[in-house]
Amino acid sequence: MARQSRPPVIAVMGHIDHGKSSLLDYIRKANIVASEAGGITQHVAAYIAEHNGRRITFLDTPGHEAFKALRARGAAAADIAILVVAADEGVMPQTLDALAAITEAAIPYIVAITKIDKNNADVDRAKNSLVENGIYIEGMGGDIACAPISSKTGEGIPDLLDLVLLSADLLELAADPEVSATGFVLESTQDQKHGVSATLIIKDGTLTLDGFAVAGDAYAPIRFIEDFRGARIEEAGASEPARLSGFNKLPAAGSLFFIAKTKKEAEAFAREYAKESSIAHERAALADGVAELPLIVKADVAGSVDAIVHELAKVTHERAMIRIVSWGVGSVSESDLKTAVASGGTIIAFNVGTDPIAGDLAEREGVSILSFSIIYELSAAIAELLAAKAPAISVERELGRAKVLKIFSTSGKKQVLGARYVSGTLTVGDRMKLLRTGEEFARGGISNLQQARANVKEIKTEGDFGTEVECRVPLVYGDEIVAFTVSES
């Protein structure tokens, strides 16, 4: 069968709190914001809407900077992006991050200027902000379509959807319904009822109740298919989100999927992928003098794990490094605790609880379980842990310096010398290092000082003096004595 037109897949992207979720709420008449921590959408999700009798699939991608990796995947899976910019703020840092993801994915985009109903909204100022940041919209020197909208009143949203469909028509999106489905993994989760599940976005072909879905080194038999509302369906076509359960392991969000006919074939593909894939989570060799902070990361969904790993990669210290021992989806389990005990690690629980047995074991073994629901609070806490883990640096500070003039006697490690003051203060009890032609060759201590044949506690003025030092290496004329102290930071 010839390829047929398919609905567009749209990624809604932009800065935190600029109205992405509110726009989708209005389109699909559902509220997903109230239960979100801090009002931040933290999972990639997909929804189908209709406009003028035509279907459109929307991907709701996170706007917070910490979810950059997820946002990039959303753009890769999409055909067109909507870049939201609030009329009361204009372009912000994550706006530019979202634009970078769109540019990297090489997909067209439309600008939606949101919140035009607010008292302090200024559409013209927002447009100027776009142009100042290299986003050249129609009417201001460019060809990027732009629609001012209000998700509160619905003003401008029909125009925005018209622009989406027009852009889709220009792309001439098509798929072959007769071939097996291929596409992207948007999200993967694990729970007791369904096991390991994944939300897929189909970019070509048709997903039917036959064969095995393979994504990287994970695979699942296609026993049933759920649509974006959770209803079971017989098949899913191109541009549709579909949910499958029964994967042998969590498929990586953002990975490509395809269909294998048999379990044997699926297993072979998965093994080959695991063999050839260079896994980025291998333990790096530690540099000398660098401590490590082992972490076990557990989160509600795989996308959150990816976001946490992305955020933790930015938490650095010159004398310590983070090592992610293991990561996974679901509540903190007994297995996680055993891993923490074996590695000396700390457990990070993001939007998940702790199993009772695991909680008891953590208390007995003294394992720390740190719970978070907001990503930037997590990164701040880990930064503090990493700093505390870093070994102290010993810093040497020079106190005084003298030059050896004559060796009077040597007995064991004690040597009596004549020296000439050069700088600073030399004190009885000081540690010293000895330099010959500018290079250190030995260390020791100052056990006695004499000036004008009288014992003194310190030498801090110009002139010659006598000293007894403790050093096993014989000194010679011209060697330098450098008194120093050591402090830690």
139 burial type by CB count under 10 A (0-12 exposed, 13-18 middle, 19+ buried): exposed
Residue 146 resides in a domain: yes
CATH number at residue 349: 3.40.50.10050
Alpha-carbon distance of 290 to 280, in angstroms, equals: 20
Print the domain residue range for 212.
Answer: 182-276
Based on the domain organization, do 441 and 458 belong to the same domain?
yes
Q: Does the predicted TM-score (pTM) go above 0.85?
A: no
Based on the domain organization, do 141 and 162 belong to the same domain?
yes
Q: Give the C-alpha distances (Å, rounded to integers) separating 438 from 113, 161, 393, 413, 426.
A: 67, 76, 24, 22, 19
Question: For tokens 């990561």, what's the residue?
Answer: 327
Based on the domain organization, do 142 and 25 belong to the same domain?
yes
Alpha-carbon distance of 158 to 335, in angstroms, equals: 51
Tell me the DSSP string of 103-121: HHHT--EEEEEE-TTSTT-
Based on the domain organization, do 263 and 311 belong to the same domain?
no
Question: C-alpha angle with apex 400: 398 to 405, nearest 5 degrees?
Answer: 130
**Which residues are CB-contacts of 129 (< 8 A; sequence separation ≥ 6)?**
85, 90, 91
Residue range 271-278: average pLDDT? 66
Question: C-alpha angle with apex 346: 344 to 349, nearest 5 degrees?
Answer: 150
Based on the domain organization, do 169 and 205 belong to the same domain?
no
Of the candidates 389, 404, 433, which is a domain's last residue?
A: 389
350 in Cβ contact with 372 (< 8 Å): yes
Tell me if residue 410 falls in helix, strand or coil: strand
Q: What is the DSSP letter of 332?
A: B
Residue 281 resides in a domain: no
Based on the domain organization, do 237 and 164 belong to the same domain?
no
Alpha-carbon distance of 332 to 350, in angstroms, equals: 10
Based on the domain organization, do 227 and 354 belong to the same domain?
no
Highest mean pLDDT of the ranges 34-43, 65-74, 319-328, 440-449: 440-449
pLDDT band, residue 486 (cuts 50/70/90): confident
78 in Cβ contact with 107 (< 8 Å): yes
Of the candidates 138, 155, 173, which is a domain's last residue?
A: 173
Residue 322 resides in a domain: yes
Residue 163 resides in a domain: yes
Q: Give the C-alpha distances (Å, rounded to integers) separating 199 from 25, 28, 36, 42, 66.
A: 20, 19, 19, 15, 21
Alpha-carbon distance of 251 to 260, in angstroms, equals: 15
**Which residues are CB-contacts of 361 (< 8 A; sequence separation ≥ 6)?**
334, 337, 338, 341, 367
Residue range 391-411: average pLDDT? 89
Strands (E), 87-194: 109-114, 146-148, 174-175, 182-191
Q: Which of 70-74, 107-111, 322-326 has the lowest mean pLDDT?
A: 70-74
pLDDT given for residue 63 in this prediction? 52
pLDDT given for residue 73 in this prediction? 66
CA neighbor of 197 nearest in space, from 164, 168, 230: 230
Per residue in 167-205, pLDDT tens?
999 999 999 999 999 998 888 888 777 889 999 999 999
CATH number at residue 41: 3.40.50.300
Based on the domain organization, do 330 and 399 belong to the same domain?
no
CA neighbor of 234 nearest in space, from 208, 202, 201, 199: 208
Model confidence at 80: pLDDT above 80: yes
Residue range 33-45: average pLDDT? 45
Per residue in 430-467, pLDDT tens?
999 999 888 888 899 999 999 988 999 999 999 999 99
**Which residues are CB-contacts of 128 (< 8 A; sequence separation ≥ 6)?**
90, 140
Based on the domain organization, do 10 and 124 belong to the same domain?
yes
Model confidence at 404: pLDDT above 60: yes
> pLDDT averaged over the chain?
86
Of the candidates 365, 389, 413, which is a domain's last residue?
A: 389
pLDDT given for residue 48 in this prediction? 86
pLDDT band, residue 280 (cuts 50/70/90): very low
Residue range 272-285: average pLDDT? 52
Q: Exposure string (b/e) for 229-262, b if CB count within 10 Å is 16 or more?
A: eeeeeeebbbbbbbbbbbbbbbbbbbbbbbbbee
Residue 285 resides in a domain: no
Q: Which of 32-36, 125-129, 399-403 has the lowest mean pLDDT?
A: 32-36
Report how many domains make up the chain. 4
Residue range 386-414: average pLDDT? 88
CATH number at residue 398: 2.40.30.10
pLDDT given for residue 42 in this prediction? 43
Give the tokens for residue 403.
């030059």
Residue 439 resides in a domain: yes
pLDDT band, residue 149 (cuts 50/70/90): very high
Based on the domain organization, do 149 and 250 belong to the same domain?
no
Based on the domain organization, do 56 and 198 belong to the same domain?
no
310 in Cβ contact with 68 (< 8 Å): yes
Residue 399 resides in a domain: yes
Based on the domain organization, do 238 and 313 belong to the same domain?
no
pLDDT band, residue 98 (cuts 50/70/90): confident
Model confidence at 369: pLDDT above 50: yes
Residue 236 resides in a domain: yes
Model confidence at 26: pLDDT above 70: yes
